[in-house]
Amino acid sequence: MGCGHSHHVGYHPKLLGRSESGKARPASESEGPKLESFVVIRVLRADLLRSFDAYGKMDPFAVVEWHQEGTRKEIARTRIDWNADMHPHWDHTCRGQPFKMAGNTMVEFQVMEGNVIGRPSFCGAAKISIGDLAPEPTSEVGTATGPVLKLELKLASGPTCEPEVTGHVFVQALMVQTTVLGRGKTPGLSRVDEGLFEGPIERLGVSGGSAAFFKLHLKPGSGRARDYFIGKDLSHAEDEVTFYEEALALKRQPGVAGLGPLLSYTLEYAGVLTNTEETSAGEKKTELLVMRNLRCGSSKHRFLDIKIGQKTAQAGWQGKSRVAALRQSMVDGITNSSCEGFRLEGFDGRPPALESMDPLLDLGMTGNAKMAKKALRVMLQRMPAAEMLLHWLDLHQEPQLGPSDVPNEKLKLQLCTTEVAEIVCHEAVRSLCGLAVACRRSPVPQKWIGSSVGLGFDSGSLPQRKGGEEEVRKSTLVCIFDWGRSELNTMNKHMQLSEKDQLDRGEFWRYYMGGIDRLAWEAARAYQHRFSCSKWSLLTFKVCDFDSMSENDFIGRLCVPVEETPETCADLNSKDGNHVVGDYGWRGSATLTYSITWRPFPQPSRMKGAWRVHLIRAQHLPRQDKMQLRTTSDPMCEITACAADPKGLLCLRQECMGYKEVPGKRPQNHIRQSIPMKAFLQLINDTPNCEYHQETRNLHKNWAANIIATENGNLLKCVFNDADGTVKLLIREDLFPMAEEGLATAWKKVTTRHSDEDFTTQKGKGKGKAKSSSSTARGVQDYLYKVHLVRVRPLEDDEDP
């Protein structure tokens, strides 16, 4: 996908390449400040062909040596990749080496196997000249990245024998051009003219941390939107201002010290503004960091604050105490940081389905706003990426967009919610992949502890179809921010660090890149699940009782084919295939009412169309909150769509808002009443297949087997067809008439509107007498159409059925 950058940032310098002639120009011919060239070598990984350990798995590491003018020195030693065996991954960045136009400079990579007792075992070495490894230097400030090279590791077995090839090592080199001027200087504060903004400023409140934000208004004639910038209280952001000032100084330099692609994802920063704030005690002067306002131009801004890294604190770093670091490490261990390398810290503009999930519902503390805020933060921190992105892209219940999305008569002029979600997800994947590439193009490792990635878009408006895609892409934000515990490392700084500090930077940079890689992969997987299917086959409604302190209680489910379906009422089934009934069974079976319609999109839309699933109501749901001594449930519905392609293992999942208690009002949704869950789910007819659930398959098999009221032994085999949902029962030839009679009996009882208990035959048990609703009879009747009996001749004694 390349190293694309998000549209919300401004300055993005060109990546440096070679001259038009394809040859390097010496630095002496260039004009301007004197340039210095450094070669930065990366040792990525190795693949060994055999093991060098007597027992167990190998613990390899690599040593890099620099050979120049008859001397050799060790410039780097990677960490030991414990239990990596023959496929270690280091991703190690070596200390930059001054580059001179000399052709006799060689680099040697040695792979060693660490031993607990004794010296390390030598696994092989590879040599290459610096001219073949590194790209040619240029006459401009910046970084040129060389290709990843695969070098053979050779092990000499004797003076007269051919060396043995023991594996391969993968390396890469960067040529970094920096200026001598400005080395060691710390940039001062960049002041913003107070006359550019209207006064006095207005306080907005606290967002996540302790720093307050202020609303800033540009005066007319600036060429930008009035609310383009926002102010952050400098008194609570002193640990961030140094990072922003250093980044601003680098952006003003040619080449940006090789960090241009990476810094293009940071928030636009203008400087420090001194303005007047009106308080209860009168006016006072306040210093603010002036940054880009992410909510500029949005009617309803939906924004994710994702903290990156599996380790978000270190004792002694940037004033972090040992106790605070220990407390933060405990938070990392119980949240999604330890699982996927990042966690969700904040969610602005949450969809109604997520809003209805009260984290204090089980404790009965719905009126405590302070406790609810803390509990919500814990719930978000533990939320996996798949669920986080599901809610981020959920637009089907937004009040600003109307209850039924864009009407069909206006679809030719306006984008619908599904199309907007697809464009937003596609742009997020592009930008996140570009960020992952930009991290690897950084000439030196960074130590960005506790920094965040932001994903945002406008969820409160639907643009016109003409030019709408460009508008949605432009408003989709992917940025990196929150530099309170971060350091902006450059080549000049990195050269002055000790070996221990360089390894420390490399360790935390691997944490950061790992989190970015996983986030980009999760976003790509979400796009593949939702927007890459050519045909859907199966739809599953799963009704659960929401629990905030434990796993949701399963109530029932319903599996239906994806096809045009009018308003239909069907029974919910339990996990074992029986109908779900209300409390004590006297109110009948639990039912779900739904409808499915196909909606084609006008050309030139990016998709063919969408299936619209209208979930109307559920009735007679059993009570689940018995432990809380409540007579109600908190139902929610999870809808999963499975694709028809048998080669895929993917599906689409969406959650719909259900019950939510309102303090001071009588709950309107009881298990004895109809539970309204009006929501439209868009199923994109463009995501590969979800494997048909094994338990659903077994459920249909068992149901079909029980329909045949015959003795044991006549059912030889049961074959389930995933494509059309049919069941074939292989019956012995001599018992086939009895099987036909059993199926006919079942069919007769269905047509008389009796429940399936009448024709479910189990050995030693009687038949039920309860009557079912007409919808139950129709559902069983439709299912019986898919049961086929196959006559099989009697088997011989030595035959295997």
CB 483, CB 451: distance < 8 Å: yes
β-strand 565-571 against 485-487: which pairing, if any? unpaired
Residue 186 lies in a domain: no
Residue 754 lies in a domain: yes
Predicted confidence at residue 628, as pLDDT, reads 63
Buried b (16+ CB within 10 A) or exposed e, 358-392: bbbbbeeebeeeeebeebbbebbbebebeebbbbb
Predicted confidence at residue 764, as pLDDT, reads 35
Same domain, 103 and 173: yes
Give the Å distances, CA to CA, from 278 to 147, 275, 547: 57, 10, 45
Same domain, 568 and 483: no
Phi, psi of 417 (to 5 degrees): -65, -35
Tracing tokens 């098999």 back to the chain, one arrives at 701
Predicted confidence at residue 409, as pLDDT, reads 86
CATH number for position 463: 3.30.470.160
Q: At what angle do helices 385-392 and 499-531 cross, to 10 degrees?
A: 50
Structure tokens at 330: 């405990």
DSSP for 420-470, please give it: HHHHHHHHHHHHHHHHHHHHHT-SS--EEET-EEEEEEE-S---BSTTHHH
Residue 224 lies in a domain: no
Predicted confidence at residue 267, as pLDDT, reads 92
CATH number for position 138: 2.60.40.150
Predicted confidence at residue 757, as pLDDT, reads 40
Going by C-alpha positions, the residue among 764, 792, 784 that lies closest to residue 708 is 784
What is the distance between the terminal CA atoms of the chain, rounded to a whole angstrom? 53
Same domain, 359 and 502: yes
Give CA 391 to chain center in angstroms.
11
Residue 377 lies in a domain: yes
Same domain, 357 and 388: yes
β-strand 35-48 against 89-93: which pairing, if any? antiparallel
Q: How many domains does the chain have?
A: 4
Same domain, 548 and 677: yes
Q: For residues 432 and 409, what is the distance between their CA atoms, to the nearest angstrom?
A: 36
Question: Of 154, 179, 204, which residue constitutes the final position of a domain?
Answer: 179
* Residues paired with 539 in a beta bridge: 560, 641
Same domain, 65 and 107: yes
Tracing tokens 């292989």 back to the chain, one arrives at 730
Predicted confidence at residue 209, as pLDDT, reads 58
Going by C-alpha positions, the residue among 95, 101, 90 that lies closest to residue 66 is 95
CA angle 170, 172, 177 (to 5 degrees): 170
356 DSSP 8-state letter:
T
Predicted confidence at residue 579, as pLDDT, reads 87
The full 3-state SS of 89-103, as one line of letters, equals EEEEECCCEECCCCC
Question: Of 130, 157, 179, which residue constitutes the final position of a domain?
Answer: 179
Mean pLDDT per block of 10 residues along the chain (801 residues) reads: 42 32 40 73 93 89 90 89 91 83 82 89 93 81 84 84 92 82 62 87 68 88 89 86 92 84 94 85 85 90 95 87 90 93 94 85 70 89 94 84 76 92 96 94 92 95 93 95 92 85 91 95 92 86 84 89 92 88 72 91 89 88 72 81 68 58 32 33 38 38 45 50 59 65 60 41 35 43 56 52 42
CB 621, CB 555: distance < 8 Å: yes
Phi, psi of 174 (to 5 degrees): -120, 140
Structure tokens at 783: 């299912």
Same domain, 467 and 586: no
Going by C-alpha positions, the residue among 78, 100, 187 that lies closest to residue 502 is 78
- CA pseudo-torsion sign 272, 274, 276, 279: positive
CB 311, CB 281: distance < 8 Å: no
Phi, psi of 474 (to 5 degrees): -65, -35
Predicted confidence at residue 624, as pLDDT, reads 76
CA angle 696, 354, 464 (to 5 degrees): 100
Residue 222 lies in a domain: no
CA atoms within 13 A on the CB side of 8: 29
* Residues paired with 271 in a beta bridge: 290
Going by C-alpha positions, the residue among 377, 367, 355, 362 that lies closest to residue 545 is 362
Predicted confidence at residue 2, as pLDDT, reads 44
CB 58, CB 86: distance < 8 Å: yes
Residue 585 lies in a domain: yes
Number of other CB atoms surrounding residue 583 within 10 Å: 14
Question: Of 470, 503, 531, which residue constitutes the final position of a domain?
Answer: 531
Residue 240 host element (H or E): helix 238-251
Rounded to a whole number, what is the largest CA-CA distance in the chain? 101
Residue 634 lies in a domain: yes
Residue 307 lies in a domain: yes
Three-state DSSP class for 591?
Answer: strand
Note down the domain range covering 41. Answer: 27-179
Same domain, 654 and 728: no
Same domain, 743 and 660: no
Same domain, 680 and 733: no
Three-state DSSP class for 121?
Answer: strand
Same domain, 449 and 564: no
Structure tokens at 614: 């209208």
Q: Report, in angstroms and rounded to the nearest whole number, the Rg of the chain calculated over CA atoms.
A: 33
CB 263, CB 483: distance < 8 Å: no
CA angle 240, 244, 250 (to 5 degrees): 150
Kindly give, in sequence order, each residue whose CB lies less than 8 Å from that of residue 402, ignoring residues fewer than 6 positions away.
Answer: none
Same domain, 623 and 555: yes
Give the Å distances, CA to CA, from 764 to 297, 650, 711, 731, 761: 70, 42, 12, 22, 9
Q: For residues 726 and 744, what is the distance between their CA atoms, to the nearest angstrom?
A: 17
CB 257, CB 178: distance < 8 Å: yes
